[in-house]
Homo-oligomer: A and B are copies of this chain.
Amino acid sequence: MRSPSTRRTAGGEPISSEVTDRPITLSQVARRLEDSGSGAVVLFVGRVRPEVQAGRRLTGLDYEADRRMALARLSDLERQARRRFGTRRIHVVHRIGRLRVGTASVIIGVAAAHRSMAFEAARFLIEELKREVPIWKTDRWARGPTGRRRRTRRRPRGARSPG
């Protein structure tokens, strides 16, 4: 994760996304989008939301990833977004490990000539990330047993952590 500009997929394409167990910040993503030709930048931050269920309080989420495949899928998604929306810069970072409530789990940044491209690409990336990238979260509750967070019908999609 240290030198993302030199990492490449098996196919030789540069990978700009990151899956990291360190804190992620807006400024780290914004830096990667610097481009004087882009008139619009859209940034999305997903954070662990507080929740109480049946008297139990969510203290955080544990994130895990199939890191190699996650990077390959993120790099696919970046390529798709570039092609579909004509964006100029994309950078996605996803944090894994034990994250407390309020902590950023994912940051997506897109720079494009026009705002509609940037908005649509950012939305596309977060929706596809949730569906297609091998990353998982598990709930951690203050008391009682833990319950895995599934793409479940029990709750509306994206209920707690929209990131």
| Interfacial residues, chain A to chain B (CB-CB below 8 A) | 26-27, 30, 36-50, 101-102, 112-116, 118-119, 122-123, 126, 158-163
- Contact: B42 with A163, CB < 8 Å? no
Chain B residue nearest in CB terms to A127 = B115
Chain B residue nearest in CB terms to A126 = B115
Chain copies in the assembly? 2
- Contact: A44 with B101, CB < 8 Å? no
State A50–B36 Cα separation when bound (angstroms). 7
- Contact: A30 with B39, CB < 8 Å? no
CB contact between A42 and one of B39, B43, B49, B161 (< 8 Å): that residue? B43
State A119–B110 Cα separation when bound (angstroms). 13
Q: With A46-B40, A49-B39 known to touch, is A123 a contact of B114 (CB < 8 Å)?
A: no
Contacts of A38 in B (CB 8 A): 47, 49
Could you write out 22 A-B pairs with CB less than 8 Å apart? A26-B43, A36-B50, A36-B101, A36-B102, A38-B47, A39-B49, A39-B163, A40-B45, A40-B47, A40-B162, A41-B47, A42-B42, A42-B43, A42-B45, A43-B43, A43-B44, A49-B113, A113-B162, A114-B158, A115-B126, A115-B162, A119-B123
